[in-house]
Structure formats: C-alpha cells, structure tokens
Amino acid sequence: MTDRPQQHKPAKAANCQRARALSSLFPRRLHAHFYFVPITIQLPDLKSQTSFNLARWAERCGHFANKRVIPSEEMVLKIKAAVKAKSDPDFVIFARTDARQMNGLDDAIDRVNRCCDSGADIAFIEAPESRAELEEIPKRVKHPRFVNMLTGGVTPILSVKELEQLGYKIVVCPIESLMVCARAMRDLCEAWKNTGRADKLATPAMSFAEVKQLLGVEEFLELRERL
C-alpha cells in the first residue's frame, strides 16, 4: 500500500473484494533472498480527481520530485481495510510511503510504523536520501523492512550484505534488468543497422545452444517419447 494519490483500478483478487473501491492489486515481485514473500500486494490510495487533475497529478516514481501523499490517517484506514479483507495467511501486505521527499524522514517513519501496527506485514520507505537515513530507518522501524536499490535514484547504493547488516529483510533492484536489456537491444539494433549483421554481437552474449538449454527445449522435444 502506498500513500500516493492515484487513479482507481479494479481489484484483481477475490479475497480483496471489500477493498476494491480503495485500490488495485499489483503483480508478484521478485525479492532478494533475505526473506521469502510468496505473494505481495500494493494498494494505491487515490482520491477522486477530475481528468484535469489526473493529468496534472499522474502517478510518479518515488524517486521523482513533486509528489503528493494522502494524510497518514487515511493510509492507515486503507491498511486496516486490506487486512480485514485478507483471507490467506500467506498474503503479504506492504506498507509503502513516498512521504520522505515531501514531508521528511520522521513522517515517513511514523507512517510505516502506524501501518504495520495496524496489520501490514512489511515496512517500505521509498527513496531515503543518504546512507545515514538508510541506517536510521532500521533503528526506528521494528517491523520487517524493505529497501529499494534503484540505480540512478536518490538513494545511495549499498551491497546486499551491507543492507542485511543494517537490518533490512528484503532488497530489490527494480529496473536494472530493464536497463541491461534495453542497452543490449539498442546495441543489437545499431549493429544490424550499421553492419547488416547481428551475430558478432549476439554470439558472445549467449549462443543458440545455450538459449535452448536455458529454455529446456530438448526436454519438450522428448515429451512425446516419454508419454
């Protein structure tokens, strides 16, 4: 659950029908190996807005400037609604706040503590702005803590080991795979356009045989014989 105003979207989980008017459910995310979370949800908290305001206040990344957040009391109510709607004990609720940039670290810490005290499972303060803040959060947030290591964002990058030692239980690199793949695709297209060949760039990256092995192609081709 985040405290950014957003546009309503229909809920996607049957056991969260009572929270449908509040938020939407986001798909499963990948986490580091500190803490296994089988299913996670993020419940946005949009106020009703006109089309003009939606264009002006479109949802922004936590590392962008000029965000808006709802009052903490409203965020807590959303957490309570999600907790009440939850029927699966393995369904994990994140309390995410983007209040750091707009309201300061103290308000962000207070928000996640109140939300976790109300039933959220994981505390997530987006976009701490210094190593000192990364160190301060685990001292003042006693619930399981999530941290986001965005390359090029406002948060300094620490290693997984360092973050574990500070007390974080979950760490993600949110778009780094996209960055790497986008660069590779751009280089491949440039090679194809400029030289008329792609093999000299593609083969060192991964051979055709390696791709087939990775996908388990031979196993599928042998399926008929095993039946």
Confidence of residue 5 (pLDDT cuts 50, 70, 90): low
Retrieve residue 198's tokens.
């792609």
Instruction: Enumerate domains of the chain plus CATH numbers.
Output: 14-174 (3.20.20.60), 178-226 (no CATH)
pLDDT in tens, 29-55: 333 433 333 344 444 443 433 333 334
Retrieve residue 38's tokens.
């089988």
CA distance 164 to 154: 20
Given this model, what pLDDT does residue 187 score? 95
pLDDT in tens, 106-143: 999 999 999 999 999 999 999 999 999 999 999 999 99
Computed on alpha carbons and rounded to an integer, the radius of gyration of the chain in Å comes to 21
**Pairing label, strands 91-97, 145-148:** unpaired
Given this model, what pLDDT does residue 106 score? 97
Closest Cα to residue 77, out of 100, 41, 122, 111? 111
For residue 62, with 0-12 CB atoms within 10 Å meaning exposed, 13-18 middle and 19 or more buried, which class applies? buried
Given this model, what pLDDT does residue 19 score? 38
Confidence of residue 23 (pLDDT cuts 50, 70, 90): very low
Given this model, what pLDDT does residue 67 score? 79
Confidence of residue 7 (pLDDT cuts 50, 70, 90): low
pLDDT in tens, 176-210: 999 999 999 999 999 999 999 999 888 888 899 99
Q: What is the pTM assigned to this prediction? A: 0.71
Retrieve residue 36's tokens.
């296994």
How far is Cα of residue 197 from the mean position of the Cα atoms in its chain?
37
DSSP for residue 130: S
Most confident residue range from 4-13, 15-24, 52-61, 93-102: 93-102
Given this model, what pLDDT does residue 68 score? 83
Average pLDDT taken over every residue of the chain: 80
CA distance 59 to 4: 7
